[in-house]
Amino acid sequence: MQIEAVELRTVSLQLKSPFRTSFGTEHVKDALLIRVAADDCEGWGECVASAEPLYSSEYLAGAMDVMRSFLLPILFASGDVAAADVGRLLAPVKGHRMAKAAVEMAVLDAELRRSGTSLARRLGGVVDRVPSGVSVGIMDSVPELLDAVGDYLDQGYVRIKLKIQPGWDVDAVRAVRERFGDIPLQVDANAAYRLSDARQLCRLDAFELLLVEQPLAEEDLRQHAELAKLMTTPVCLDESIVSASAAADAISLGACRVINIKAGRVGGYLEAVRIHDLAVASGVAVWCGGMVETGLGRAANIALASLPGFTLPGDVSGSDRFFAEDLTEPVVMRGGYVDVPTGPGIGATPLDAAMKRMTTAKSTVSRHD
């Protein structure tokens, strides 16, 4: 397709409750959305960069700038563009994978809407619903945590992930195990530990967790491999896996037995599928991560999670896990599952009224600007 115009839009969604991780506390979700328009189709992308560069080096205003200054001019100059070409066309620009992923997602959505194909079908999905896990933030107290976990279990979530950090780890996990027994349980440290904390991390081995996610820093592949030798709990990587190449390195180093795949972090849904394929071929389990996406990114993540290698429940919760109101029809979790969208493209579209209310800024870049 020949892209004629691109709309960049920031939206702000109120969170139902603050979401606290080892790197900060979010009260609102600020997202960057991109809409590409060609003469016979349009498509939506969502950029997972946060307002501040605390999870990774990318951040929302930076993503918007790199799109406007570098990524979109390349697409406009490229004439007829297919989604499968976007990664290669944007490769001369180093890094900025979250921005690139959003651009590719929008082109992919447009292409699939035009052909009437769902994203799940295009990526190779094999199921029509996927099990739904929930990520539970750090709380002020253990009783508060137990209330939150109890509520999610009552709603039907099939797997609980606890955010941890030094000072909020073994006691929190023990309390959840004692209250709720043998539930599928895992933890996510968002790089809050160092290899010298190995003794404390090994204390988690007593609780038969499914995995410990990203205990050490993004760059510390070798140190994750050292830690993995010391722990019986499987080490899972999130932040460290920025590409299929990084995944191949991590696997061959023995740095992880499990990978959290987030399309935004790795430069797009097509690279996400390559990591899935590589992991399956290597006997590494994968699951679909989340970045508190709106209904757009949430729908696309569920499509990705329908591929056969996603053998562990993902952070693919219902919209109401985070938002009282989403900007699309909400993703609904029922009986522990969310349905894989079947409509053309990502299978979700913004609702005009909600979108209008939630928009904080909007601009358009055209081929002829």
Which amino acids are annotated catalytic? 163, 262
Binders of Mg ion in range 176-215 (CB under 5 A): 188, 213
Residue 238, interface with Mg ion (CB under 5 A)? yes
Least distance to ligand OSB, CB of residue 290, Å = 3
Residue 56, interface with ligand OSB (CB under 6 A)? no
Select 220 or 238, whichever has its Cβ closest to Mg ion: 238
Binding-site member from 1, 3, 41, 55 for ligand OSB (CB under 6 A): 55
Least distance to ligand OSB, CB of residue 133, Å = 8
The dihedrals phi and psi of 141, each to the nearest 5 degrees, come to -150, 160
Torsion of CA 78, 9, 43, 39, to 10 degrees: -60
Residue 26, interface with Mg ion (CB under 5 A)? no
Tell me if 214 sits within 8 A of 289, measured CB to CB.
Answer: no
Select 1 or 300, whichever has its Cβ closest to Mg ion: 300
Per-residue string for binding with ligand OSB, 115-144, x by CB under 6 A?
--------------------x---------
DSSP H stretches of helix in 259-351 = 269-282, 295-305
CA angle 133–138–142, rounded 5-degree value: 100
Least distance to ligand OSB, CB of residue 40, Å = 33
CA–CA distance from 339 to each of 127, 299, 347, 350 (Å)? 9, 9, 11, 18
CA-based nearest residue to 275, from 290, 286, 264, 291 = 286
Binders of ligand OSB in range 233-292 (CB under 6 A): 238, 289-292
Per-residue string for binding with ligand OSB, 13-42, x by CB under 6 A?
------------------------------
Q: Which does 169 bind (CB under 5 to 8 A by kind): ligand OSB, Mg ion, none?
A: none
CA dist 142 and 124 (Å) reads 41
Binding-site member from 186, 294, 317, 349 for ligand OSB (CB under 6 A): 317
CA dist 145 and 20 (Å) reads 12
CA-based nearest residue to 320, from 11, 14, 55 = 14
Q: Which does 290 bind (CB under 5 to 8 A by kind): ligand OSB, Mg ion, none?
A: ligand OSB
CA dist 323 and 295 (Å) reads 10
Tally the C-alpha atoms within 13 A of residue 115's C-alpha that lie toward its C-beta. 14
Residues lying near ligand OSB in the complex (CB under 6 A) are found at 55, 135, 188, 190, 238, 289-292, 315, 317
Q: Which residues bind Mg ion (CB under 5 A)?
A: 188, 213, 238
